[in-house]
Amino acid sequence: MKAAFLRLTFWKVIAVAIITFGLYSTFLRFTQGLASVTNLSDSFPWGMWIGFDILCGVCLAAGGFLICAITHIFNIEEFKPLTRSAILTAFLGYVMVVFALLFDLGRPLNIWHALIMWNPHSVMFEVAWCVMLYSSVLFLEFSPVILERFQLTRLLKIVKRVSLPIMILGVLLSTLHQSSLGSLFLIVPAKMHPLWYSPLLPVYFYLSAIGTGFGMIIFESYLSARSFNKGLEMPLLSRIGLFAAIFVAAVFVIRFSDLALTGKLHYLLIPCQETYMFALEIVIGMIIPFAILIQKRNRQSRKWLYFGSVSLIVGALLNRLNVSITALNGFSKANYFPSVNEIAITMMLVVIGMIAFKYAVQYLPVFAEEEHTEVLDTNVVVENE
Amino acid sequence: MVALFVALTFIIFLVIDFFVLRSQKKVHPAFMPNSVFDKSSIYFPGKYLLSKGHIWLQALKNDTYKLGLDEFVVRAMNNIVINTIAEEGTKIKKGDVLFSGTAGGHPVAFYAPVGGTVSQINTNILNKNIEDIYNEDWGVILQVESQAKIQEIAFEAVKAKAWMQSEFKRLKDFLTIQTAEPELAGLTMADGGNIAEGAVSMLSDKVVAAFENDFLKQ
């Protein structure tokens, strides 16, 4: 009974505390403006909300488009059991990105301007449209789960009929979006530390999002196993781990080739905060996960596969925050660190996303993969235990 | 510093969660022994077929099928080493031995779900543990006698997975009957929990033979 009490309350208490403080910070943000709750300034206008909520959020949501590409474009159907939860994670991730944008925009009520005031020469214009369109596409990709839940079979059939073009559109938009977030930083070559600035930033963002997306699929499976007493599809996750290792190796090779060809390797020998952070990012985000996941024995081990995925995610967090904050801190001399309110709002969004995931899994057939759909199609009645 | 702060916060939350689970006397899925399986973790690929003798079939072309052992039987027996495979070019009937070898040192045989001619065998699986169940560790390619027979003996993927889950329950019953030492069979079997991987081959030759009779012969 005591254990049950602890299980029921520990994370709930933490979640309530985070949300309460987050709501208080939200109130301050929308009543007193950005300056009252953030440490942002004219010399450092993009902080944690852009770096974590948007760049990291989008990167970690990459699992959705990857699994769609694998199962619906490359037609490797055996990965279908992972599809719905990956799409749900991506959808919630993007919804949180949109909410985070509302916090960060100086005039959030003008967020709709991108719809009619087009500026096709701006990378932000592409980002805005990709976020809007891909969030809609993710909703459509996830909609069969909702339609099944409420047994709206006619609508379900229509959605299923258009599911392939939707999936392809989703992969296309996500590709554009992941890379265009890297393109955002191409406009500040003189302000970024050379270890991170490269004309290939869009390519790095895209390829690293793929590696991280695979890591996120694995990590999300463990979270689901932990929270919903669900088994792990180890044969599938093990293969996903191999894909992640391949992409991490590709990014590593391209990145260091780029540094060598552009004569930037000597920056690695300069003892400063940027060098240490770069080294940490490479070791945690590339070398460790590659060393773990390239070995079949490790990929078949629950423990090592988990460590590999955590390492990929931590590496992605370090990379995106290094690009958006560490690499710019030196030039701006702002020495930015987020305020307590910024942190509270970010944590609140993460907690809300996790709660939404929990309830979606609880009330929708997220882990039933395509079974329900196929049962409806074929009228085969399968008696599950 | 912001990057370090965020990364450390993430790791700290994971560590706290580990200790919270520990205080609840639970184990994080990452630290569960690999040697436990339950019905929810059983996986079967789409487009594959499954026979009641736990042999999967993957349609190739011209009435040919690739055959191998399913995850259920590999995890129930564990350490399955195939020593002999039906020879290439031989005609086999339904119920003939397709592969034979050992499971945890006990002799075991697997049977053809359908008759046909063995057109190719995978010698890479000989004398090593079956690991990559639905991909590299396939057993034979069989030109079947009759396509219609396949429809009779095999489940398609959705039904196959549900059937394997029902086999899980049958395995629990089997182990309870077969052993006077139920702790060998499972960690939490009494309350409907998991079965230790390889539970069947932890027992005697006699139990493995009974498993072969009950689960592998159709």
Q: Which of A248, A257, A250, A333 is nearest to A283 (CA)?
A: A248
Q: Which of A60, A74, A374, A19 is nearest to A220 (CA)?
A: A60
Interface of A with B in 63-82 (CB under 8 A): 77-78, 80-81
Query: DSSP states of A160-201 as a string?
Result: HHTHHHHHHHHHHHHHHHHHHHHHGGGG-TTTS-TTT--TTH
Q: Provide the percentage of residues in chain B whose pLDDT is more than 70.
A: 89
Per-residue pLDDT tens over the stretch A284-337: 999 999 999 998 888 888 889 999 999 999 999 999 999 999 998 888 888 889
Flag if B37 and A231 touch (Cβ within 8 Å): yes
Flag if B2 and A77 touch (Cβ within 8 Å): no
Sketch the domain layout of chain A as residue ranges.
Answer: 17-365
Up-side HSE of residue A140: CA atoms within 13 Å toward CB? 22
CA atoms of A318 and B6, how far apart (whole Å): 8
Interface of A with B in 296-325 (CB under 8 A): 300-303, 305-307, 310, 313-314, 317-318, 321-322, 325
Q: Which of A132, A37, A12, A35 is nearest to A345 (CA)?
A: A37
Long-range contacts of A270-274 (CB under 8 A, 24+ apart): A273/A326, A273/A330, A273/B1, A274/A193, A274/A195, A274/A326, A274/A327, A274/A330
pTM of the model: 0.73
Q: What is the pLDDT of residue A159?
A: 85
CA atoms of A243 and A250, how far apart (whole Å): 11
A359 Cβ contact list (under 8 Å, min separation 6): none
CA atoms of A345 and A360, how far apart (whole Å): 22
Nearest CA in chain A to B27: A226
Q: What is the pLDDT of residue B38?
A: 65
Q: Token pair of A51, please?
A: 């770096």
CA atoms of B148 and A71, how far apart (whole Å): 29
Per-residue pLDDT tens over the stretch A224-235: 888 776 667 777
A147 Cβ contact list (under 8 Å, min separation 6): A153, A155, A156, A159
**Chain B environment of A3 (Cβ under 8 Å):** 23-25
Are A58 and A177 a contacting pair, CB within 8 Å?
A: yes
Q: Which of A76, A305, A319, A339 is nearest to A207 (CA)?
A: A319
pLDDT: which is higher, A133 or B169: A133
**Chain A environment of B20 (Cβ under 8 Å):** 6-7, 10-11
Q: Is A51 an 8 Å CB contact of chain B?
A: yes
**Chain B environment of A322 (Cβ under 8 Å):** 3
Are B110 and B53 a contacting pair, CB within 8 Å?
A: yes
**Chain B environment of A6 (Cβ under 8 Å):** 20, 23-24
Flag if A318 and B5 touch (Cβ within 8 Å): no
Q: Give A303 to chain B, closest Cα distance, Å.
A: 5
Per-residue pLDDT tens over the stretch A21-54: 999 999 999 999 888 889 888 888 888 899 998 8
Are A185 and A197 a contacting pair, CB within 8 Å?
A: yes
Per-residue pLDDT tens over the stretch A166-180: 888 888 888 888 888
A152 Cβ contact list (under 8 Å, min separation 6): none
Flag if B43 and A81 touch (Cβ within 8 Å): yes
Q: Is A236 an 8 Å CB contact of chain B?
A: yes
Q: Could you tell me the pLDDT band of residue B180, with boundaries at 50, 70 and 90?
A: low
CA atoms of B216 and B218, how far apart (whole Å): 6
Q: Token pair of A226, please?
A: 């932990």
Q: Token pair of A209, please?
A: 């999002």
Per-residue pLDDT tens over the stretch B49-62: 898 889 999 988 87
Flag if A78 and B21 touch (Cβ within 8 Å): no
Q: Which of A51, A44, A316 is nearest to A191 (CA)?
A: A44
Q: Are strands B195-196 and B97-103 parallel, antiparallel or unpaired?
A: unpaired
**Chain B environment of A384 (Cβ under 8 Å):** 162, 165
Q: Which of B158, B164, B170, B194 to mutate to test the interface with A (most CBs of A within 10 A)?
A: B158
CATH architecture of the domain A17-365 equals Up-down Bundle (1.20)
B187 Cβ contact list (under 8 Å, min separation 6): B36, B193, B194, B195, B196
Per-residue pLDDT tens over the stretch B68-91: 998 888 888 877 888 899 888 889
Per-residue pLDDT tens over the stretch A338-365: 999 999 999 999 999 999 988 888 888 8
Q: Which among B2, B21, B34 has CB closest to A48?
A: B2
Q: Which of A14, A238, A277, A382 to mutate to test the interface with B (most CBs of B within 10 A)?
A: A382
CA atoms of B136 and B148, how far apart (whole Å): 27
CA atoms of A326 and A192, how far apart (whole Å): 9
CA atoms of B23 and A7, how far apart (whole Å): 9
User: Taking phi first (over 0 means left), then psi (-120 to 50 degrees means alpha), and beta for anything else, what does residue A301 get?
Assistant: beta
CA atoms of A109 and B107, how far apart (whole Å): 73
Flag if A313 and B10 touch (Cβ within 8 Å): yes
Q: Is A258 an 8 Å CB contact of chain B?
A: no
Q: Provide the percentage of residues in chain A whose pLDDT is more than 90.
A: 35
Please compute the mean of the pLDDT values over residues A266-283 and round it to a whole number: 92
CA atoms of A186 and A208, how far apart (whole Å): 17
Q: Could you tell me the pLDDT band of residue B191, with boundaries at 50, 70 and 90?
A: very low
Flag if B162 and A384 touch (Cβ within 8 Å): yes
Are A188 and A332 a contacting pair, CB within 8 Å?
A: no
Q: What is the pLDDT of residue A299?
A: 87
CA atoms of A197 and A202, how far apart (whole Å): 11
